[in-house]
Amino acid sequence: MTARLLDGRALATKIEDSLRAEVQTFAGMFRRRPRLIVVLVGDVAASASYVKSKQQAAARVGIDSDVIRVPAESQTADLVELVQAAAAGDHGPADGILVQLPLPAHVDAVAVLDAVPPHLDVDGFHPENAGLLSQGRPRFIPCTAAGVQRMILDAGLETAGRHAVIVGRSDIVGKPLALLLSAKGPGGDATVTLCHSRSADLADHCRRADILVAAVGRPNLVTAAMVKPGAAVIDVGINRIERDGRSRLVGDVDFDAVKEVAGWISPVPGGVGPLTVAMLLANTLLAAELSSR
């Protein structure tokens, strides 16, 4: 058996095509384009690369974006004040504000993220948006979790009554995805097991999954022996490793081995990553539409 590829790049292109038309309609109605502000702290190469890809994707669909760059030495209070100023319009009108993660270790990331008002929180991290999601009436869904569900729906994978196992309990991916997959409706109604670093016998939990999502940031954690034959395996991990003197990106799944067991599998890169960006654009357009009502 060789798994079918869950091509995130191809799906992201389809989503962008749809968003481009919706943004044009919005601009025609309101005589403006949606605008996203990104706060980038420090000069970490990976973060700068992610921000650049978000700006490029925004430009492709017609969303305006601007990056506010601040030094890595910035303190929590400074960043909170900056985010509040951006929300107040000091850096021009904004429909969405995104604080690029991770932040430096000395910064209280929760305080900075909480400073983004819920109606501008296109990452979906504010407690109000998390609460709405938990009640089954989401406003902005965290982008990676939304991207995983969209990948499942696009592939036509059945979720109702199926067993989904998520490895990783972060507020960014694991917890919101568990809520999405267990909620009523398309892409939901699954029985969800949320595993983490204290879970006993992780391999046994994984082998029971019809849909297995790995989101912990540990290279090649999920092996072929941990996968139920025919299961859908979705790899959220992005890890940079050195091998033979060369640097390359790998996921949390041992792709080459697992593809011979799974029914579907997402690659790294080219899987969930592009969908995370596409969902950010969708959230930004939604924020613009909600603010214009």
The tens place of each residue's pLDDT in the chain, 293 residues long, gives: 689 999 999 999 999 999 999 999 999 999 999 999 999 999 998 899 999 999 999 999 999 999 999 999 999 999 999 999 999 999 999 999 999 999 999 999 999 999 999 999 999 999 999 999 999 999 999 999 999 999 999 999 999 999 999 999 999 999 999 999 999 999 999 999 999 999 999 999 999 999 999 999 999 999 999 999 999 999 999 998 887 778 888 999 999 999 999 999 999 999 999 999 999 999 999 999 999 98
CA pair distance 29, 66, nearest whole angstrom: 23
pLDDT tens sequence across 204-244: 999 999 999 999 999 999 999 999 999 999 999 999 888 77
Closest CA to 187 of 155, 141, 140: 155
Catalytic residue among 64, 95, 121, 123: 123
Domain ranges for the chain, please list them. 31-119, 143-273
Q: Give phi and psi for 245, each to the nearest 5.
A: 75, 10
**pLDDT given for residue 1 in this prediction:** 63
**pLDDT given at position 246:** 82
User: Could you give the maximum distance between any two Cα atoms of the chain, in Å?
Assistant: 57
Question: Is 100 among the catalytic positions?
Answer: yes
Q: Which of 55, 95, 100, 235 is catalytic?
A: 100
pTM of the model: 0.96
175 given a catalytic annotation: no
Q: Which residues pair with 4 in a beta bridge?
A: 264
CATH of domain 143-273: 3.40.50.720
Domain 31-119, architecture per CATH: 3-Layer(aba) Sandwich (3.40)
